Structure 1
Amino acid sequence: MKQNRLTRSIRAVLTGTVGIGFTLTSVISNAADTPATAKVEKITVTGSSIKGVASQSSSPISIVRTEDLAKQGVTTAEEALSTVSANQSSFVAASNVGRSGTAGSVADLRGLGPNKTLVLLNGRRLANTPFDTSTVDLSTIPLALIDRIEVLKDGASAIYGTDAIGGVINFITKKQYQGAGVTVEGAAPQKSGGDKQNYSLFGGYGSLEDQGFNVYGAATYGKQDSVMANQREASRRGGILPELGVNRTSGSSFPANIPGIGNPYASTGCGDTTKNTVSGKNCRYNSQADIGIIPEEETFSVLGKGTLKLTDNLNAIAEYVHSENRMTTTVAPDVLAGGGSDYYIPSTSSYYPGKGITPAISGANGQDLSLNIRSQAGNRISETTQKADRVLLGLDGSVADWDINTGISYAKSQGEDSLYSGYIDNQKVRDNLANGTLNPFGASANANIWNSMSISGLSQSAQLESTNFDFTASRAIFTLPAGDVGFAVGGGLRRDEWSQTQNAAVNSLVASTGVDSTKGASTGTRNLKAVFTELQVPIFKSLSAQLAARYDDYSDFGGTFNPKVALRWEPVKQFMMRGSFSTGFRAPSLYEMHSANYKTYTAASWNDPVLCKGGTPTAGGNAVRDCNTQFYAKTGGNSSLEAEKSKTFTVGFVYEPIKNVVLSVDYFNIEVKNQVSAPTESAIFSDPVKYAANYVRKSDGSLDYVNESLQNMGGTKTSGIDLGIQWRSPMSQYGRLTLGIDGTYVDRYKFQTEKGGQWYSAVGQYNSNFGSVITRWKHNANVNWSYDTWSLNLQQTFFKGYVDQNVSDQNHKVSNYTLYNLSGSYTGFKNTSITLGIKNVLNAQPPKSNVVDNFQMGYDARYSDAMGRTYFGRVTYKF
């Protein structure tokens, strides 16, 4: 099949428009060097159900090749996807600090939310996370024997159904593998903390062509050490950052504060510690300086695949993937507060102020005193473990002139949140205060009393099971003057079952778990039936169309129909245009519909808008309980949720002005309605009039909690441009040089917090209602030089600055953030490849930020890396 030079280049660009620059240019050149008579294998491109050559695609697709990522020291899927500019994830591994039941780390194309990015393995769904049931934890995806990552930056509900609003990320394994090998990787930051190791063992046997079968597998183990706040300049001062207008400390301190009265040690400096500061008559604890800003993480994964050649055109496939992830997070010691008589010291205690051990304090007139205390049993350390399995049996090939792809799969994910150390039995604290054995202001007679009240064990667990059958058949059904008309038809059946339980024996004793111990198990099930069809129509020699439609029927909320129309036009050899329009949807997850409501502390400290208006206690209020403190927030599911809906429009072009220089530009415009969300704590406390109904109070008027339960809220509109530039020089006596740039410019990102409500902008500025920021411009650039057995790579990542959160009416702007990574590889030793490099060569520090929505303060861990300059190495030996 003869193809002109642009078509060959476009074929590569369409399946790799941006991605890693030097990788793409290499693909482009290789395509250009392929003889015209070479056999072109039919493949299924992400975003289509019809097999064909890649040049048939009319949607922008990026390819990221894992062998090139490895040369940059990339060992995880989260790191790999950070190189894609369209990915604007606001939940990374560091986001797990201070949270329970999380997804680990996620992808988020277009910044629409991780639940609107579909993640696949070889074109089929993986097990979603057990706690939120709507996203895939990237830490559970093994990169060993993953050949490439295809990123479709277009709506694809007409092909794949739910979740594919922002786009699709498809991890594709090698078709077959022969031989064996081992890889050892390590990374060591210049500063202490954060060391990383990774070990992989892989192997395969058999040839599909010669022996009619192939089996291969890989096992990978990885571990990254934690980083504490005091180990990095960006975080060591915690929540006391006067130049940023931040003073986020806790009224639950040690020595304990007495609400309405003060602290017996305030006049003498609040005890023998630098973690406390004096605030009037009270002590304030700088809790954010006492946390782990990057969690410890340990992963293990196994990937296996077997292919049996049934006929020359049909293969049977068996595939299994297993992964385990353990994330250990560290936050400040346990909080023991609540006002009223929750925690009090009786006048009979020998530690009562003025009785000879504790200094006297005005206002302590012999009555029992309420307390806000901070535990002395060490930091709270939690462990979240997640396991995921997926097994697949399928057929792939052709039968009677039909291309067939069918399979049945079973996926299961399990998660557990456990208290490891530092959590305190609340009732024992009350009892030991009441009987006079616990000193809330200093050392107790029993030096081990705090540790004796520690409690550990399972807090909550969740499980999600999904059984799926899918079938696709495609072929050319007739021929037009311009070529064959491709046709596909298919369908699927799926059943999902979810459950979540909590351990009341532990949660009833530890309020800071944020889990309601009175709630029973939460469960949810659903059945799905789907049918879809697709046409590839050559209208003229230079113009072709993709027409697709899909109908999904859900047992719990009904049906939805979604079409897609796309065009591809190549008027001249050097130029190609493409465009598409589609609708999409996202079904509310089983967690969103059926999870129990529970309470947990807000991430930041706030003022009660009634009892501490403007930061000053009003009538009935007191500074410790109502001012600059962490309140309870209640969140949970809603069985009345409806599906989210979307419309997507894209148009772009690919231009090859000269050989081996390719420019691609793609415009995207996405509108989402009926979004499932909840008002953030920032929004509730920033506008107490608008959210007055979200404040739930106790009988004494103090704040019990703020309501952040899920609901169908307003919409989101976003538009922008993806830009890709690739160039590859001819081979010379000095080697070959390649350049590539992958950038995304977001022109608009607006959202509503309620249906028919005001539109807010989130592009280039942090918005408390939105809870994060969409950067205006982000790009990755690569310069790669290769010669014989040597190669060097210089990578630049750029993230444009934005207007900061500024919750206290500050006027701060987060500065631009640029990272440079340098690596070199050598393959001259027999069967061995070696890579050495430096991440963040210039040791760029995270831009300063006054964001208070995270546990980390001083910078935003979602958009910058506190690790600093890091040295890495990788050795692979193949037997």
Structure 2
Amino acid sequence: MMKERRLQHSLRMMFSGSLAVGLGLLAQPLQAQESEKEEEAPQQMQRVEITGSSIKRVAAEGALPVTVIKADDFTKLGSTTAAEVLSNISGNQTNYTTSANVGAGRTVGAAADLRGLGPNKTLVLLNGRRLANAAFDGSAVNLNVIPVAALDRVEILRDGASAIYGTDAIGGVINFITKRSYTGLNLSVEGIAPEQSGGAEKRFNLSGGIGDLDKDGYNFFGVVDYHSQNAVKASDRSFAAPGGRNPGLGMNIGSGNSYPANYYDIDAGQSGNPYAGSGCKPPYAFAQGGVCRYNSQAVIGIVPKTEEIAVIGKGTFKLDADNTASIEYLHAQNKIKTYVASDVFGGDGSGDGSDYLINPNSPYYPGNGITPGSASGGPLSVNWRSVDAGQRVGESKNSTDRLLLSLDGTLGGWDYKTGLAYAMSKASDALVSGYLDSNMVREGLLNGILNPFGAQSAAGIDYLNRAQVRGVTLDAKTQVTSLDFTASRELFQLPAGPVGFALGGELRREQANFNVNHALSDLVESTGSQDSKSASGSRNVKALFTELNVPVAKTLEAQLALRYDGYSDVGSTVNPKVALRFQPAREIMFRSSYSTGFRAPSLYELNDPNAKTYTAAPYNDPLLCPGGSVAPDGIAARDCGQQFFKMKGGNKNLQPEKSNSFTLGLVIEPLPNVTASADYWNIKIKNQISVIPENDIFADPVKYADKFVRNPDGSLSHIIGTNVNLGNVHTSGFDLGFAWRLPKTAWGNFGLSLDGTYVSQYDYQTEAGGDYLNNLALYANGGVIFRWRHATTFNWSRGPWSAAVQQVYTTGYRDQNGSQVAEAYRNRQIGSYTRYNVSGSYTGFKNLTLTAGIKNLFNTDPPASNVTDNFQYGYDARYGDAIGRAFFVRAGYQFF
């Protein structure tokens, strides 16, 4: 077989168009580049398969924009998770990070989001094949189960609607590629110590393999990887510690479910709090509008405690000189433990069975000697937070398993690959502590054991301990069984070269089950699962695709692809893709592509059980407390500044999303050691599947009148935030790449690279046929689309020493500026955000590699934000680094 060309040829791969932004994010160590350059002359190029095409070809061919990141490069800079690796990719506009799980159940864990189109439109692969989507939020792969320590590289196809992997890849494709084979035994240990409290990380990794595929005819390779990170409390960070009381951001937000409790005197028809006149009970309760508010966001954990373990094993067997068989198994699991404020209890003040009442004979009734003040002598309905029971602690578990049997090689002049795979994803949400049996709390208040206005007696503490509810409330499982086959070859010769042809197909069975443990969840009203019903769904998918690579002329090449997908539940679709590569001179190349896409709603988006959860932020009922002023039929403690219930879940009436994508790019090599690229992209989506942000619903109650569900007495029961087809999206922009390898010097080897994305347009509709709204450089539609993001990396190496400095930069935007923020602060702009990471490595000891570095070198806090869509206040957890400056060290030892 022909030998593989190394890095020097990789630069030319960029130039010729197969690797779009090329070294995009990180340059290879330059000493290795020099030695590889010296070896290049006698070598020949290997025929390989590049992400974005099924035709095996000399790697320098191709017309699609692909970024390749080597695992050695992102581990040197301290990236410990797949989400962290992708956060430095400029085209990955927003990251659903592990921190976003705080206060939110049934989540994906962590997800990628190319182009800001949503995680459900980014296709994530492992070794070119699909994983099962996360069982919760099952429209995306949970990045926390990707075995980072087993990776060889990550390939990112920035051109959407892949006709090869699936036309649901509207935003693009991310292909995590593990090491193909390995011999020896390697142990690596890593620790990360933040300068501030919380967030410490540790990682242990053991990898080993035996057998040389060419000499022995086999190779067995395995990796065991363990990673954990400690939690970070809001009080551990100055930008999060104020919670909802942040005057610098115009925020004075607190929950009406308070400690001490607010009450509604049913006989007198009045709201009040016995401690409102004395300032409530600081530091977390404060007086506002004659009642107390509780600063719940000041007592949460802003970064969860996480633990991940991944095991991957692969056996490869050489059947003959041209064919191999392999078996691969992946098991990965992660646990996320979240911490939020104490459990909440409140009714609608109607005096019926839904209320939490205290009677006049309670020792804690106002005026009975313990609690100050007085009431009418009738029952009081309270809105209470059980601080003495401790924080609510929840634990989400996610796991993924995949078994893959595959064959690949050459047969009868055809390059082929085929695989039979079974993938499964499981998830569960459990109550760990702080969640209380709602009916026991009602009884405890009625019989005078529980004190809603102050500290509990010994009997009260014992009662709260007995009222604790623990266990799994929700679980889910998704399964994918697939059989795929692809064959390619050169059909015939044209004057400009051979015509490449590929034909492939796939049969796929998808299943999803969502189960609600009513025996447990119904005990705790704050889980919102009382109205949920277990659900399941399944579908069969069949696909057939073909691809042609046609050298029209010596300087012009065309790639033509066509894909058919048939879904048993939503029908069939045919989508084409056309790509062109034009190279008029050695130093310049043009490329362009056009494709259509189709994404069926996921089984989760269709069947997710509808359940209630509290809104992330408190709001005013627009009918009973408009603008924060109590209406004649309103009750301040019930209708003003409340975290209302929100109904979340699936929608069986969803329609498929459809898209059109266009790209036009240029790659130049003005000097032998300099490569630059620019790619324009334009994506249009119809029938976008998403949810209407809760802030938008409360901000426009007339437009969203059908989203408000009311009780018989007119009070707000909940808002509806289930999945819907919002309308269309239109976005466009430019990807820019630059790589410069300086000539070798006596001081060492130097290199510089840039990966940047400029978004010129992002318009969306909140309903079909509605007006287009702007989401670029301003917070809207539940998030931000940044105008410019880039990662720049400077590398140096000399002998056994090497070092890297990375800058990650994001432009500013207009803040959320919601109705909860003081009007004088609603035109607030957020400035740009820059972080620096540095690292150094030494390989001078036999079999030992040492690396040390600093993440967020200048300890830059995330930009201050008045966003209230998340449970973290004071900053946006999706875009900012809450850890701050952190020191890391890693040692890797090669035993043999």
Same fold (TM over 0.5): yes
Q: CA deviation at 1:281?
A: 2.1
Q: Does 1:520 align with 2:525?
A: no
Q: CA deviation at 1:18?
A: 4.6
* Residue of structure 1 aligned with 2:407, choices 376, 391, 395: 395
Taking structure 1 as reference, are residues 681 and 543 closer, same or farther at Cα in structure 2, changes over 3 Å only?
same
> Where do 1:197-216 residues align within 5 Å?
197-216=202-221
User: What is the alpha-carbon distance in structure 1 between the residues aligned to residue 435 and residue 577 of structure 2?
Assistant: 53
SS in 2 for 1:311: coil
Shifted more, 755-764 versus 13-22: the winner is: 13-22
> Where do 1:332-343 residues align within 5 Å?
332-340=341-349, 341=351, 342-343=355-356
SS in 2 for 1:204: strand
Q: Does 1:428 align with 2:444?
A: no
Q: CA deviation at 1:509?
A: 1.2
User: What is the alpha-carbon distance in structure 1 between the residues aligned to residue 544 and residue 403 of structure 2?
Assistant: 23
CA displacement, residues 350-380 of structure 1 (integer Å, 9 cap, x when unaligned) = 211111121123xx21110110000120000
TM-score, scaled relative to structure 1: 0.97
Q: CA deviation at 1:16?
A: 5.2
Taking structure 1 as reference, are residues 101 and 514 closer, same or farther at Cα in structure 2, changes over 3 Å only?
same
Aligned twin of 1:454:
468
Q: Does 1:39 align with 2:39?
A: no
Does structure 2 conserve the Cα–Cα contact (< 8 Å) formed by 1:199 and 1:220?
yes
Q: Does 1:151 align with 2:148?
A: no
Q: CA deviation at 1:162?
A: 4.2
Question: 1:160 is aligned with what amino acid?
Answer: Y
CA displacement, residues 795-818 of structure 1 (integer Å, 9 cap, x when unaligned) = 100011100000135111111110
Shifted more, 443-452 versus 225-234: the winner is: 443-452
Does structure 2 conserve the Cα–Cα contact (< 8 Å) formed by 1:12 and 1:24?
no
Aligned twin of 1:839:
855
Aligned twin of 2:272:
262
Q: Does 1:349 align with 2:354?
A: no
Taking structure 1 as reference, are residues 314 and 346 closer, same or farther at Cα in structure 2, changes over 3 Å only?
same
* Residue of structure 1 aligned with 2:381, choices 370, 388, 394: 370
* Residue of structure 1 aligned with 2:317, choices 308, 323, 327: 308
Shifted more, 453-462 versus 286-295: the winner is: 453-462
User: What is the alpha-carbon distance in structure 1 between the residues aligned to residue 40 and residue 123 of structure 2?
Assistant: 36
Aligned twin of 1:126:
131
> Where do 1:28-67 residues align within 5 Å?
33=38, 35-67=40-72
Q: CA deviation at 1:149?
A: 0.2
User: What is the alpha-carbon distance in structure 1 between the residues aligned to residue 67 and residue 629 of structure 2?
Assistant: 54
SS in 2 for 1:415: strand
SS in 1 for 2:714: coil
* Residue of structure 1 aligned with 2:302, choices 289, 293, 311: 293
Does structure 1 conserve the Cα–Cα contact (< 8 Å) formed by 2:286 and 2:294?
yes
Question: 2:211 is aligned with what amino acid?
Answer: G
Q: CA deviation at 1:587?
A: 1.2
* Residue of structure 2 aligned with 1:283, choices 279, 286, 292: 292
CA displacement, residues 289-319 of structure 1 (integer Å, 9 cap, x when unaligned) = 0000000000000011111010111110111
Q: CA deviation at 1:143?
A: 1.4
Does structure 1 conserve the Cα–Cα contact (< 8 Å) formed by 2:578 and 2:593?
yes
Question: 2:760 is aligned with what amino acid?
Answer: D
Aligned twin of 1:877:
893
Aligned length: 873
CA displacement, residues 807-833 of structure 1 (integer Å, 9 cap, x when unaligned) = 135111111110011111000011000
Q: Which runs of 4+ in 1 moved over 4 A?
A: 1-9, 24-34
Q: CA deviation at 1:210?
A: 0.7
* Residue of structure 1 aligned with 2:172, choices 167, 171, 191: 167
Aligned twin of 2:791:
780
> Where do 1:478-877 residues align within 5 Å?
478-515=492-529, 517-767=530-780, 770-808=781-819, 809=823, 810-877=826-893
User: What is the alpha-carbon distance in structure 1 between the residues aligned to residue 286 and residue 563 of structure 2?
Assistant: 61
Question: 2:557 is aligned with what amino acid?
Answer: S
RMSD over aligned CA atoms reads: 1.7
Question: 2:431 is aligned with what amino acid?
Answer: L
Does structure 1 conserve the Cα–Cα contact (< 8 Å) formed by 2:211 and 2:220?
yes
User: What is the alpha-carbon distance in structure 1 between the residues aligned to residue 843 and residue 41 of structure 2?
Assistant: 31
SS in 1 for 2:865: coil
* Residue of structure 2 aligned with 1:359, choices 368, 372, 379: 372
Q: CA deviation at 1:47?
A: 0.6
User: What is the alpha-carbon distance in structure 2 between the residues aligned to residue 129 and residue 585 of structure 1?
Assistant: 20
Question: 1:124 is aligned with what amino acid?
Answer: R
Taking structure 1 as reference, are residues 8 and 582 closer, same or farther at Cα in structure 2, changes over 3 Å only?
closer
Taking structure 1 as reference, are residues 505 and 162 closer, same or farther at Cα in structure 2, changes over 3 Å only?
farther
Q: CA deviation at 1:450?
A: 2.3
CA displacement, residues 376-423 of structure 1 (integer Å, 9 cap, x when unaligned) = 200000000011100100101110100011000000011010000000
Does structure 2 conserve the Cα–Cα contact (< 8 Å) formed by 1:611 and 1:618?
yes
User: What is the alpha-carbon distance in structure 2 between the residues aligned to residue 191 and residue 32 of structure 1?
Assistant: 45
SS in 2 for 1:47: coil
User: What is the alpha-carbon distance in structure 2 between the residues aligned to residue 29 and residue 596 of structure 1?
Assistant: 58
Taking structure 1 as reference, are residues 18 and 686 closer, same or farther at Cα in structure 2, changes over 3 Å only?
farther
Q: CA deviation at 1:187?
A: 0.3
Question: 1:471 is aligned with what amino acid?
Answer: F
SS in 1 for 2:505: strand
SS in 1 for 2:638: helix
> Where do 1:67-146 residues align within 5 Å?
67-146=72-151
* Residue of structure 1 aligned with 2:428, choices 398, 403, 416: 416
Q: CA deviation at 1:30?
A: 7.4
Q: CA deviation at 1:29?
A: 6.8
User: What is the alpha-carbon distance in structure 2 between the residues aligned to residue 830 and residue 24 of structure 1?
Assistant: 19
CA displacement, residues 707-765 of structure 1 (integer Å, 9 cap, x when unaligned) = 11222220111100011111011222211000001100000001001111011111100
Taking structure 1 as reference, are residues 9 and 112 closer, same or farther at Cα in structure 2, changes over 3 Å only?
closer
User: What is the alpha-carbon distance in structure 2 between the residues aligned to residue 198 and residue 443 of structure 1?
Assistant: 42
Q: CA deviation at 1:280?
A: 3.4
TM-score, scaled relative to structure 2: 0.95
Q: CA deviation at 1:339?
A: 2.1
Does structure 1 conserve the Cα–Cα contact (< 8 Å) formed by 2:17 and 2:591?
no
Taking structure 1 as reference, are residues 209 and 610 closer, same or farther at Cα in structure 2, changes over 3 Å only?
same
Q: CA deviation at 1:179?
A: 0.4
Question: 1:398 is aligned with what amino acid?
Answer: T
Q: CA deviation at 1:269?
A: 2.5
User: What is the alpha-carbon distance in structure 1 between the residues aligned to residue 43 and residue 17 of structure 2?
Assistant: 16
User: What is the alpha-carbon distance in structure 1 between the residues aligned to residue 30 and residue 584 of structure 2?
Assistant: 23
User: What is the alpha-carbon distance in structure 1 between the residues aligned to residue 662 and residue 34 of structure 2?
Assistant: 31
Shifted more, 660-669 versus 10-19: the winner is: 10-19
Taking structure 1 as reference, are residues 64 and 9 closer, same or farther at Cα in structure 2, changes over 3 Å only?
closer
Aligned twin of 2:267:
none
Shifted more, 555-564 versus 586-595: the winner is: 586-595
User: What is the alpha-carbon distance in structure 2 between the residues aligned to residue 160 and residue 217 of structure 1?
Assistant: 26
Question: 1:276 is aligned with what amino acid?
Answer: A
User: What is the alpha-carbon distance in structure 1 between the residues aligned to residue 460 and residue 444 of structure 2?
Assistant: 13
Aligned twin of 1:320:
329
Question: 1:850 is aligned with what amino acid?
Answer: N
User: What is the alpha-carbon distance in structure 1 between the residues aligned to residue 795 and residue 18 of structure 2?
Assistant: 18
Q: CA deviation at 1:452?
A: 2.5
Q: CA deviation at 1:27?
A: 9.0
User: What is the alpha-carbon distance in structure 1 between the residues aligned to residue 153 and residue 766 of structure 2?
Assistant: 38
Q: CA deviation at 1:267?
A: 1.7
